[in-house]
A and B are shown apart, each in its own frame.
Chain A
């Protein structure tokens, strides 16, 4: 079955620690995205990538970094510079970056600070 997998489901971060969230898709999609969701709010775009080896900052990129070395994978690192990282993180992908295309979402990773 095609889809998007995110791991882990829950992640705990200590002060000053960098953590990496995994996102893998087997849909053969070119575009991938990372969103952050805070309680009672909509999703905000962190980073996106339209093609391998290329990615762009979204609306709230500070304190985050990404890489796109393979088409299937788009890991997100939450660095120690992100002072309020507790949130639900969602990865998505689409066939391309066009405005009519549907974005498909993974099940999410909940990040908590110890």
Chain B
């Protein structure tokens, strides 16, 4: 079945460091891919998405490129801030038997940025 695998956290970085959070997926067809961010005690917010191969999603300095050849959607940011500390979830859309879609989430990667 379809699945998403993320690197285990926590990831601890100093402010202004470069961030990479790895995400790989297994899926049939051409799913859309998403990164969501969850701040402590809150719901999820969409960070960025890509709907087809070679698309690059970007938002707030974060980027991720849909790589079909490596089945990856790694999240990157050139210079992290303390305010980026959160849990990041990679997800893909998966078709159901009734032609609806559901999101399949990775287990999340906690990022801690120190001043």
Contact = CB atoms under 8 A, between A and B. Distances in A.
Question: How big is the A interface, by class?
Answer: 20 to 34
Contacts of A42: 4, 89, 91, 105-108
Nearest to B95: A99
Contacts of B31: 99
Contacts of A101: 101
A48 B102 contact: yes
A106 interface: yes
Contacts, number: 62
Q: What is the predominant secondary structure among interface residues of chain B facing chain A?
A: strand
A48 B100 CA distance: 10
A43 B42 CA distance: 13
B51 interface: yes
Given A45-B102, A106-B43, A108-B43, A40 B107 contact: yes
B45 A105 contact: yes
A16 interface: no
Contact of A43 (B46, B89, B98, B101): B89
Interface of A: 4, 6, 31, 33, 40-45, 48, 50, 56, 58, 90, 92, 97-108
8 contacts: A42-B105, A42-B107, A44-B105, A97-B99, A98-B101, A99-B94, A102-B34, A103-B103
